[in-house]
Amino acid sequence: MRTLLSALAAFALLGAGVADAQQAQTPQAQTPRKGGTIRMTAPYAASFGSLDPQVTPRAQDQIVNQAIHRPLYTWDTANNKLALELATEVKTSADGLTHTYKLRDDVTFHNGRKMTADDVIWSYTRIMDGSKGYPGARYIRVIKGATEVEKGEAKAISGLKKIDDLTLEMTLTERVEPGYYLFAGTTAILPREEVEKANFAANPVGLGPFKFKEHIPGSRVVMERFDKFYKPGKPYADKLEVLIMAEAAARDVAFRNKEIDTSILGPAQYVAYRADPELSKGILEVAEMFTRAITFNNDVKPFNDKRVRQAINYAIDTDLIIKRLVKDKAYRATSWLPPSSAAFDKTVKPYPFDQAKAKKLLAEAGLPNGFEWELTTSQNESWGLPIVEAIIPMLDKVGIKIKPKLVEATVLTEILMKGEHTGLISSNLTGPDSLAVLRSFYSKTPRTAGHYTNFSNPEFDKLLDTAAQEGDTGKRNDLLKQANNLLFEEAPVWFFNYNKAVLAYQPWIHGLQANPTEITHQYPEDIWVDTRPPAK
Amino acid sequence: MLFVLARRVANIVPTLAAVIAVVFLLFSVLPGSFVSAMNEDGRTTIDPAVMERMRKEMGLDDPLPERFAKYVAHTVVGDLGTSFRTKEPVTKLIGARLWPSLKLVFAAMSIAIAIGVPLGFIAALRPGSAVDTVSMVGAISGLSLSQFWLGLMMMYLFALTLKWLPSFGYGDGGIRYLILPAVALGVGPMALLARTTRAAVLDVLNADFVRTARSKGMSERRVVEWHVMRNALVLVITTIGLQFGSLMGAAVVVEKLFSWPGVGSLLVDSVFQRDIPTVQGCILLIVIFFLVINTLVDMAYVAIDPRIRYR
């Protein structure tokens, strides 16, 4: 009992905002310092799936895999674009299909062997093994001849040709930017001799800035600096620990107690950290490439009528929900593509909250008294039941009665793929390849391949077809921008928000990047720890 | 004794068979699969062709009776299959979590027994006293408290405010990391044990044979040691056994809160990600643990109460 009373007293003190003086008074160091330990957190599950990056597409696993492994391309966060990672240059043929890469000559695997073109070819061929379910196959399929390997009709990918040890020629099936396909963690380049040993996932060997040291399942992965990393002088830190912390409240305590260096924040913590004079100094924010929306099944009446879809967009006070429920930890969506996309149109205004207009549109659509609608949702706090509960009274005012159908997040994709929804609220990956993202609204895309709305619009299709054939990046982006704006006007979904990912970091940590593809996927070679020793 | 042991062990077999069948069937009818669950966080997209291949690779499309037959055939020889997530043998995954789990459960139960049983005894020997009132109010509070809330409060107090202990994690596996989760897990069983012990002792204290012992002039200490304690122990040991057996499964909340790498957190993670072989393996382990503990409890009855031996 005494314990409990003391605990309550301590909690009350914390609530009153007792600040840590030491953190506030230490000056910021400016020059990267070598040494120290980075303690990052993995918040998405209570364990890691696999440390073989080609086996797992999960965001949780990629936090570790980003430190140990690397793919051919990377996402340059500073310039918000793709960049070569394992090659120094690429030459593209006039038809835009053949790309010749000059690979870096200083890339060494953690076992001491230099990387060559053979490693790239072997890695991509492994991913296309048709007897296995490698998630990266969806990307490698863009290389000519990869599908034949997948089907078992060929042993080698015909579109991959080794010119010499450090020169690789890659022929694609269509005119696309290969970086969008080959920057995914699931396409990392691996050393064959290590993968073919038993238990590669238990003893992963890569070519990233940190080499694997220890994995305590359910607890942490520890990595050490790789001295032969190809970026001179990097990584800075001696050690990197990725600690599994699935529970937000526990992460909060550990962060305040300086036991961890980074922590992803949920809406409630975001409010508390912003209000705290000290904690607010260490907050990194970015609009991630995830668009939260209600996917209408455009096959089903009355959602086959654009006016009904638009009416719902007008009838919901989206700004109010973002402010009150999501605690401003989101940016209002003004299109399907997120702000980091080159095809995003900053001039587009969101649907205003206008219930009179919503009623008028419903009446025009022959539904003056509204209709009843089953909305599928998960428990998710940012894009699930709490949001649906807020929407119910808003739509009720225009005559739309919602029957929420609560399901586990685990089955959302299955429901979407089977088309078993009339409306379903979810978070959707919407980057970085704008063309591929918009193809989820292309009429010829099968539902199972992400066309969950079954939206069909010839004008939209034509814009995508033209964009796919366009070799000039600027012109292509203009076409995609038009398609994106058309989609917004057609409203095949309720446009809710883009996730504002928020990462809290300790004052002694530097070099973090606001990565819009996933904020927890940091580039640990750039992170450094200053001289302020973290408390143990 | 051997006969009782043999009978108990023989009872384990049908129980295990029933558990295997029920768990398998339940997870076969549950909506969603490992493949569809890969996008549960809304942070990835899976290619339909790859999904189909994964389903095939994992045997998810095979007929139910065929899958069940395969599962049973492998399980009886100790092969719990391969994890969908990690592609490692389930026995290896569970093996890595077993020691942390056992450490946590034994530590929590030791705390519960060391405090709960004496507290219940003292309370029963002085019914209505201040000790009795305070300990029983404490016991009811302990039973009512959520493990999550209690754990969080202890983190705030002992880690953040007093800086005595780490707030989370397994660290080097040392006792500093074990204390907070063990206390958070042990408070519930401790409270239950205190109440059960008190009730059992009070019951025995009012029994005819105790009155007879006292009337023969036996000292109060001897009455308590020889007659009361021994008779009350049957109920106390039953409670200990039931609590002990269920703690490994019940540790889920504490393990997740403290990022403790036990079987409970592995089970929950596997359920959400539909890693069926791992779920089945974890449940089987938890059930076996429960059955073993209860068999030991049955053996203890025989040792404590001779009347049970002759039945």
Which uninterrupted H or E stretch holds A294?
strand A283-296
Chain position carrying tokens 């500073």:
A78
Q: Give the span between the Cα atoms of A168 and A116, in whole angstroms.
A: 9
Give A-chain residues touching B46 at CB under 8 angstroms: 57, 135, 138, 413
Distance between B31 CA and the closest CA of chain A, angstroms: 7
* pLDDT > 90? residue A443: yes
Give A-chain residues touching B145 at CB under 8 angstroms: 4
Q: Among A50, A254, A428, select the one facing B168 at the smallest CB separation.
A: A254
Quote the distance between the C-alpha of residue A432 and its chain's center: 9
Distance between B135 CA and the closest CA of chain A, angstroms: 10
Peptide bond into A432 cis (omega under 30): yes
How many CB atoms sit inside 10 A of residue A140's CB? Answer: 27
Residue A17 confidence (pLDDT)? 34
* pLDDT > 80? residue B36: no
Share of chain A above pLDDT 70, in %: 94
Local structure of B281: helix, strand or coil: helix
pLDDT tens, A16-54? 333 333 333 334 447 899 999 999 999 998 899 899 999
pLDDT tens, A157-178? 999 999 999 999 999 999 889 9
A250 touches chain B (CB under 8 A): yes
DSSP β-bridge partners for residue A374: A403
Grade residue A3 by pLDDT with cuts at 50, 70 and 90: very low
Contacts of B10 (CB under 8 A, 6+ apart): none
Average pLDDT over residues A203-208: 97
B256 touches chain A (CB under 8 A): yes
Mean pLDDT score of chain B: 87
* pLDDT > 50? residue A1: no
Give A-chain residues touching B93 at CB under 8 angstroms: 217
pLDDT tens, B59-77? 888 888 998 999 899 988 8
Q: Give the span between the Cα atoms of B74 and B85, in whole angstroms.
A: 19
**Full set of structural domains in chain A with CATH:** 70-198 (3.90.76.10), 287-499 (3.10.105.10)
Name which of A40, A58, A382 to mutate to probe chain B: the one with the most chain B Cβ atoms within 10 A of its Cβ.
A58
Mean pLDDT score of chain A: 91
A29 touches chain B (CB under 8 A): no
Query: Do the Cβ atoms of B289 and A425 come closer than 8 Å?
Result: no
- A371-377 and A400-406 as β-strands: parallel, antiparallel, unpaired? parallel
Q: Among A4, A253, A410, select the one facing B160 at the smallest CB separation.
A: A253
Q: Give the span between the Cα atoms of A512 and A509, in whole angstroms.
A: 8
Give B-chain residues touching A56 at CB under 8 angstroms: 85
How many CB atoms sit inside 10 A of residue B222's CB? Answer: 12
Average pLDDT over residues B218-223: 84
Output the six-digit token pair for B199.
């009730």
Residue A18 confidence (pLDDT)? 32
pLDDT tens, B84-142? 888 889 999 999 999 999 999 999 999 999 999 999 989 998 888 888 888 888 888 88
Grade residue A5 by pLDDT with cuts at 50, 70 and 90: very low
Grade residue B160 by pLDDT with cuts at 50, 70 and 90: very high
Q: What is the DSSP string of A328-380?
A: T-EEE-SSSS-TTSTT--TTPPPPP--HHHHHHHHHHTT-TT-EEEEEEE-S-
Distance between B85 CA and the closest CA of chain A, angstroms: 5
**ipTM of this predicted complex?**
0.85
Find, among A493, A486, A516, A485, the residue nearest to A503 by Cα.
A516
Grade residue B39 by pLDDT with cuts at 50, 70 and 90: low
Residue A413 confidence (pLDDT)? 86
A109 touches chain B (CB under 8 A): no
Residue A13 confidence (pLDDT)? 36
Q: Do the chains contact at B167 and A259, CB–CB below 8 Å?
A: yes
